[in-house]
Amino acid sequence: MADERKTAALVALDAMQEALETQTDNTWEDLGFSYDPQPPRPWPSTIHYVDTHCTGFYGLSVLAADKGTGKTLLATASSIEAAASREWQVVSFISEDDRDGYRDRFNLYVDSHPGSEACVGWLHPYFVGKGQTPASLLAEVRGAVDWDLDVPILTVIDSINSVVNLSGRRYLETLSEFGLWMMFARRLSGGLASFLVTSETNKSGHAKGEALPFWADVYLRMKKETENVVSMTLDKSRRTAGEGPMGKYFRKWAQGVFESSHEQPPLRVVGEEYRDR
C-alpha cells in the first residue's frame, strides 16, 4: 500500500526495491473495510484506439512485434509524451539503438509535435551495457529521478530480449527475473512504478518466453503487413475494455507515429501550459 507520507517517486522506488527480495510477506485484504479502488494510472500510448479504450498504456505494458515492425518507434513516442505531460518521470533503457539513432528518433518526434519538447528534464535515456540485472537498472532509475517529486516513475525497456542477452546469464531464467520484478513492483506500488517493455516475438507471434503476456496489464501485438503498414491487436487490458483487433496502421517515420485511416488523429496530452516552458 502507498504510504501517504512519501512522495509518489519514493513509493515507486521502495516498491522496485522490495520487488527484488526473494521472499516477502503475504498481505490480507479486509473486504469489510471501506476502500475506493483507484483507477489505472495511464500515460499516452500515442495510438488513438488505446488512448480511447484504455485511457493509454498503464501498469506493465508490453509491445510485442517482430524486427522492423516499429515497436521502438511506438515506445519512443509514448515515452516522450509521458514525460512531456510532466505527470511521469521517465527512465528509458535502450539496448539496441545507438546515440545517433535514438537522437534521430527523438528529434523527428519532437520537431513534428509542438509541446512535446516539455519532456526535457523529465525523460532520462540510458544506453544499456553488458551484465545488467534488475538491481543495476534500479540503481540507474534511483539516480535519475527526483525523489522529492510527487510524480510516479515509468521505466521503459527496449528491448527486454536484448537486455537479457547482454546480461550473459541464462536466457529464460533472466527473462523471468526481469518480468517478475516489473510485475511485482507495479503491484506493490499500485502503478506508481510502471513499465513499458518491447519484446521480440516467437514463431507463434507472441512475446518470447510467453510469460510476459500473463504478467502484463496491457499486451499489444504488432504485425508487419507491408513496408509501412502494421496490423495491431490489443490482446489484453487487465482493467479496461477494448480487447481485440485494432486494424491496420500506417507507420510514419518522419513524424515518429502510427496513424489509422479510419480513426481520428491520436489524442494530444501536452497542454498549452507546457508549450512555453
Sign, Cα dihedral of 103, 106, 110, 111? positive
Query: What would the pLDDT profile of 161-219 be if each residue is shown by its tens digit?
Result: 999 999 999 999 999 999 999 999 999 999 999 999 999 988 887 888 778 999 999 99
For the stretch 134-153, what's the b/e string if a residue is b when 16 or more beta carbons lie within 10 angstroms of its beta carbon?
A: beebbebbeebbeeeeebbb
pLDDT attached to residue 262: 63
Please report which confidence band the pLDDT of residue 263 belongs to, taking 50, 70 and 90 as the band edges.
Answer: low
Residues near 126 by beta carbon (within 8 Å), at least 6 away in sequence: 91, 92, 93, 94, 140, 144
Asked if residue 229 lies in contact with residue 12, where contact means CB atoms within 8 angstroms, the answer is no
**If you average pLDDT over every residue of the chain, what do you get?**
90
**What is the pLDDT averaged over residues 35-44?**
86
Query: What would the pLDDT profile of 100-148 be if each residue is shown by its tens digit?
Result: 999 999 999 999 999 999 999 999 999 999 999 999 999 999 999 999 9
8-17+38-274: CATH superfamily:
P-loop containing nucleotide triphosphate hydrolases (3.40.50.300)
